[in-house]
A and B are shown apart, each in its own frame.
Chain A
Amino acid sequence: MTRLGSVAAVALLAISRIAQLIAVILVIATFNFVLVRAAPGDPAQVMAGQSGASDPKLLDDLRKEYGLDRPYLVQLASHLGRVMSLDLGYSYRQRRAVVDLILERLPATLLLTVTAFCLALLIGTTLGALAGLAAGSVLDTVFTVLSLVLYATPVFWLGLMLVLVFSVTLGWLPPFGYETINVKLSPFEHVLDIMKHMIMPVTSLAAIYLAIYARLMRSSIIEVAQQDFIKTARAKGLSGSRIVVGHMLRNALVPVVTVAGMQAGALVGGAVVIETVFAWPGLGRLTFEALLQRDYPVLLGIFLILSIVVIVLNLLTDLVYRLIDPRMTTGAA
């Protein structure tokens, strides 16, 4: 297939996927609504429960204010209507627009997770490739053991140990938060300050993904190395570096891209545990708190955004497949 044909096929796929997207979003919005409302309890009860005092008027007032006194189907219709008009509603608990709450928390989460994701992907695939190319060597054994240890280490434990060593014992890094509170910093100092705060949460979060990508890349490289086309390349007299870069890595990356694409969606949802341990004001914590509080509009808003992000990332993953593996542009995939 020509290069032009390949691009046209990708464009067609993108258009067809976008059309599917709208239908899928409505189905997801309905499913989310049903799922969220299936859990016992309502936000009025939670609010009353936490206040240590309650009476019928308080519950009636809150349910009326939240629109929970209306029939279930009316509430569903109202929700879908809002989704269609791109209105995510109003938080019961925080009494603010859901879109504001999400946008307020999203940058912190993206900064944390995208950095961790990129680092994990870069370092993981590099280490995995090195281990795979040197399969059976001491280097391979060291990398394999290291990735196993990282994979098996609970994220919250790693986070707390880092705090204990680098904050409490050595005093090198700030233990919590996104930035130093209540100090005046120049823009450059502010960036440095945020980076300093990022080191431990990013390291904790990246560790597990790094291990996954390293293990995946290693086995993928070993598998590709035994393929006939590699033997052919060698028989043709290609140099070792050309074989590795031009043939082995390109093919070995396909499963890594698949897994990375799936995980990227989850990463946007925020790393609840890491955000909790490091008091990182991100989307993951907002989701968790909204779930506990039964703050339906916030939950539904976040779920919807995440669903869209996952769909878009899957679409991008499909497109990337086709760029790194020309066989997939035939439409068979």
Chain B
Amino acid sequence: MLHRVTFAEIECVTRGDGEVPMNRREFTKAMLAASAAIPLGITRAAGQTRGGTLNTIIQPEPPVLVTALNQQQPTLTLGGKIYEGLLKYGADLKPMPGMAQSWEISPDGMTYTFKLFPGITFHDGKPMTSEDVVFSCMKVLTETHPRARQNFARVATAEAPDPLTVVFKLKQPFAPFIGCFDCTSAPIVPKHIYDGTDYRKNPMNDKAIGTGPFKLKEWVRGSHVHLVRHDGYYVKDQPYLDEIVYRVIPDAASRALALENGTVQLVQWSDVEFFDVQRFKTQKNLEYTTKGYEYFAPHQWLEMNNRIAPMNDKRFRQAVMHLIDRDAFNKRVYFGNAKVATGPISSKTRFYDANVKRYEFSVDKAKALLDDMGLKPDANGKRAEIKYVVPPYGEVYQRSGEFFRQSFARVGIDLVLVGTDMAGWAEKVGNWDYEMTQNLLYQLGDPALGVARTYISSNIKKGILFSNTQGYSNPEVDKLFEEAAVTLDDAKRQELYTKVQQILVEDVPVAWTLEIEYPVIYDKAFKNIVTSGIGSHETFGSVYKS
């Protein structure tokens, strides 16, 4: 008999408000006992209605919709409706059922067994089985998805003993492995379409065949992408919406107007400029939230090339932490849509520790550190000239550069802003041909997945963006990150990550500035827009119009 998720079942399995802390084993047991659950916070079924269209924005337009082949943020936002993963993650980053109704982790942390929901079908009507999961994870994603490639490289064997069971055996324990199965990290594609083909050139890529609640009806390039409900979706009654239309609106002012006049009913990420967010917060028909980004936890910093003087001196980097008034930076440049970062791990990510050394805004302390290292002002009051490459990702980055320039001028450092485009920035930063720039990375729920890559010396790779491009190297940090990744006990992991945070905050390999709080703004008529830690990347199967 087909097992379908019901809200009665959820009420049986949830514990209180769902915020009761559980360790990994308790949580696994709860999940096994439940056999099915749904994200907490989802509105009850009684008020849900079928039908309706959600108009929203996709910007920039994705090159393809197959999330296994392209992992740009817009591709993931749109593709999340078409492709699903085995799991979802709540705001607390705990795993929840996706296409897997339950999972079990062996006590030694080496074997992960997933049980799939029965009755899952691809949009072409073919059944989705454990063979598709093994094929997607071990063949396609290891070929086309850099993040997944690193995660599944830790797998010794992946097996499909029956159509609804998948077993991954790891080469060695990897604590955050359970955090690698959401629709952005491990989307499942059909084996019958991709097996034996060149994945990137498969003509079926244009059809985007997944298992998600919505399927592709039409893509008019430069104009819109039209998704309609997948009638064979395995969750009873879902999706509630009939269709979702993603409009391509390249101009930020036009996007804001589209939200204002109701042409679109949902914006996410940087669809509207930060300076526009405030007015939408007070628009009566709109709901505003910063929830739904917990898994990504966008973390921003001022990146300094540690190979070049004066950035190669720890005292200089500490001085930078003192001379940027990050509260003012948040208020004036990000219009309050952020939180001041205290170190390498975001407060939204697991194992964050707030008890680290704090660098208060103090020009005097910055000057003292610069004097101490011998970087004293000349007769004109100038200490140094540093080139700052402005990231070409929107107006806010230009304003950030201006803010930093003024901050550095207070201590006699002339920050020269260098403009470039996306390709130029990627080449300069990837090839270490820069002095300073700004960078932002997602933390992906666990420091082993999204934080370590920026600081470990084995990830200093020329030509590769989002590696340890600043060139920081500390054997103790390497060791702590490695040990924390393979340790299964959360308390022990916390201890290791606390230590690594203390060291990094002392060394300041980069000057952390803000935890960006992107908004999700939507028409109040739509419910369940944000139901998990990946927010607008979610499937939207439970979204409905009241």
- Residues of chain A whose beta carbon lies under 8 Å from any beta carbon of chain B: 39-43, 45-59, 61, 65, 93-95, 101, 104-105, 108, 156, 160, 163-164, 167-168, 171, 175-178, 181-182, 276-279, 281-282, 285-286, 289, 291-294
Q: Given that A54-B465, A56-B461 are known contacts, is A281 also in contact with B253, CB under 8 Å in the complex?
A: no
Q: Which residue of B lies closest to A167 (CB)?
A: B261
Q: Point out the residues of chain B lying under 8 angstroms from A40, CB to CB.
A: 420, 423-424, 427-428
Residue contact B222 to A285, C-beta cutoff 8 Å: yes
What does the 1/0 interface line of B52-81 toward A look like (CB < 8 Å)? Answer: 010000001101100000111100000000
Q: Given that A56-B463, A57-B149, A276-B250 are known contacts, is A176 also in contact with B421, CB under 8 Å in the complex?
A: no
Residue contact A279 to B422, C-beta cutoff 8 Å: no
Identify 12 new A-B residue pairs, CB closer than 8 A, beyond the known A175-B263, A178-B223, A181-B247.
A40-B424, A41-B424, A51-B72, A55-B461, A94-B64, A160-B253, A167-B261, A175-B257, A176-B263, A177-B247, A181-B226, A277-B254
- Sample (30) of A-B pairs whose CB atoms are under 8 Å apart: A40-B420, A40-B424, A41-B422, A41-B423, A41-B427, A42-B423, A42-B427, A45-B423, A45-B426, A45-B427, A47-B70, A48-B465, A49-B422, A49-B426, A51-B146, A52-B442, A54-B465, A95-B205, A105-B222, A108-B222, A160-B253, A167-B257, A175-B254, A176-B263, A177-B247, A276-B250, A276-B251, A279-B249, A279-B250, A281-B221
Q: Which residue of A lies closest to B61 (CB)?
A: A289
Q: Which residue of A lies closest to B60 (CB)?
A: A289
Please, how many angstroms separate the alpha-carbon atoms of A278 and B251 in the complex?
A: 8
Q: Given that A95-B63, A175-B261, A292-B421 are known contacts, is A277 also in contact with B251, CB under 8 Å in the complex?
A: yes
- Judge whether B13 is part of the interface by a CB distance below 8 angstroms: no
Q: Point out the residues of chain A lying under 8 angstroms from B463, CB to CB.
A: 56, 59
- Judge whether B224 is part of the interface by a CB distance below 8 angstroms: yes
- Judge whether B324 is part of the interface by a CB distance below 8 angstroms: no
Q: Point out the residues of chain A lying under 8 angstroms from B421, CB to CB.
A: 39, 41, 291-292
Q: Point out the residues of chain B lying under 8 angstroms from A279, CB to CB.
A: 223, 247-251, 254
Contacting residues of chain B (249-288) with chain A, CB-CB under 8 angstroms = 249-251, 253-254, 257-258, 260-261, 263
Indicate which residue in B201, B205, B248, B260 contacts A281 across the interface (CB closer than 8 Å).
B248
Q: Point out the residues of chain B lying under 8 angstroms from A56, CB to CB.
A: 461, 463-464
B176 CB to nearest chain A CB (Å) = 15
Q: Given that A160-B253, A167-B257 are known contacts, is A55 also in contact with B149, CB under 8 Å in the complex?
A: yes
User: Which among B63, B143, B430, B467 has the greatest number of chain A C-beta atoms within 10 A?
Assistant: B63
Q: Point out the residues of chain B lying under 8 angstroms from A61, CB to CB.
A: 143
Please, how many angstroms separate the alpha-carbon atoms of A322 and B143 in the complex?
A: 62
Q: Point out the residues of chain A lying under 8 angstroms from B424, CB to CB.
A: 39-41
Residue contact A55 to B72, C-beta cutoff 8 Å: no
Please, how many angstroms separate the alpha-carbon atoms of A323 and B465 in the complex?
A: 59
Residue contact A49 to B254, C-beta cutoff 8 Å: no
Q: Point out the residues of chain A lying under 8 angstroms from B249, CB to CB.
A: 176, 279
Q: Point out the residues of chain B lying under 8 angstroms from A164, CB to CB.
A: 257
User: Which among B421, B422, B426, B427 has the greatest number of chain A C-beta atoms within 10 A?
Assistant: B426
B58 CB to nearest chain A CB (Å) = 11
Indicate which residue in B150, B201, B423, B425 contacts A55 across the interface (CB closer than 8 Å).
B150
B142 CB to nearest chain A CB (Å) = 9
Please, how many angstroms separate the alpha-carbon atoms of A291 and B424 in the complex?
A: 12
Residue contact A49 to B223, C-beta cutoff 8 Å: no
Please, how many angstroms separate the alpha-carbon atoms of A160 and B72 in the complex?
A: 29
B193 CB to nearest chain A CB (Å) = 16
Indicate which residue in A57, A101, A182 contacts B245 across the interface (CB closer than 8 Å).
A182
- Judge whether B523 is part of the interface by a CB distance below 8 angstroms: no
Q: Point out the residues of chain A lying under 8 angstroms from B464, CB to CB.
A: 48, 54-56, 59
A53 CB to nearest chain B CB (Å) = 4
- Judge whether B220 is part of the interface by a CB distance below 8 angstroms: yes
B67 CB to nearest chain A CB (Å) = 11
A278 CB to nearest chain B CB (Å) = 7
Q: Point out the residues of chain A lying under 8 angstroms from B226, CB to CB.
A: 181-182
What does the 1/0 interface line of B138-153 toward A look like (CB < 8 Å)? Answer: 0000010011011000
Please, how many angstroms separate the alpha-carbon atoms of A229 and B536 in the complex?
A: 73
Contacting residues of chain B (2-60) with chain A, CB-CB under 8 angstroms = 53, 60
Q: Point out the residues of chain A lying under 8 angstroms from B53, CB to CB.
A: 182
Q: Given that A279-B247, A285-B250 are known contacts, is A54 also in contact with B223, CB under 8 Å in the complex?
A: no
Q: Given that A41-B427, A95-B200, A278-B254 are known contacts, is A54 also in contact with B466, CB under 8 Å in the complex?
A: yes
The 9 closest A-B pairs by CB, nearest first: A41-B423, A281-B222, A49-B426, A45-B426, A51-B71, A41-B427, A53-B146, A281-B223, A50-B72
Residue contact B146 to A58, C-beta cutoff 8 Å: yes
Please, how many angstroms separate the alpha-carbon atoms of A103 and B510 in the complex?
A: 47
B279 CB to nearest chain A CB (Å) = 13
Please, how many angstroms separate the alpha-carbon atoms of A47 and B143 in the complex?
A: 16
Residue contact B466 to A101, C-beta cutoff 8 Å: no
Residue contact B222 to A286, C-beta cutoff 8 Å: yes
Q: Given that A277-B254, A278-B254 are known contacts, is A176 also in contact with B465, CB under 8 Å in the complex?
A: no
B489 CB to nearest chain A CB (Å) = 28
Please, how many angstroms separate the alpha-carbon atoms of A292 and B428 in the complex?
A: 15
- Judge whether B441 is part of the interface by a CB distance below 8 angstroms: yes
- Judge whether B517 is part of the interface by a CB distance below 8 angstroms: no
B10 CB to nearest chain A CB (Å) = 33
Q: Point out the residues of chain B lying under 8 angstroms from A65, CB to CB.
A: 200
- Judge whether B243 is part of the interface by a CB distance below 8 angstroms: yes
Q: Point out the residues of chain B lying under 8 angstroms from A281, CB to CB.
A: 220-223, 248
Contacting residues of chain B (228-260) with chain A, CB-CB under 8 angstroms = 243, 245, 247-251, 253-254, 257-258, 260
B542 CB to nearest chain A CB (Å) = 22
Residue contact A168 to B261, C-beta cutoff 8 Å: yes
Q: Which residue of A lies closest to B57 (CB)?
A: A279
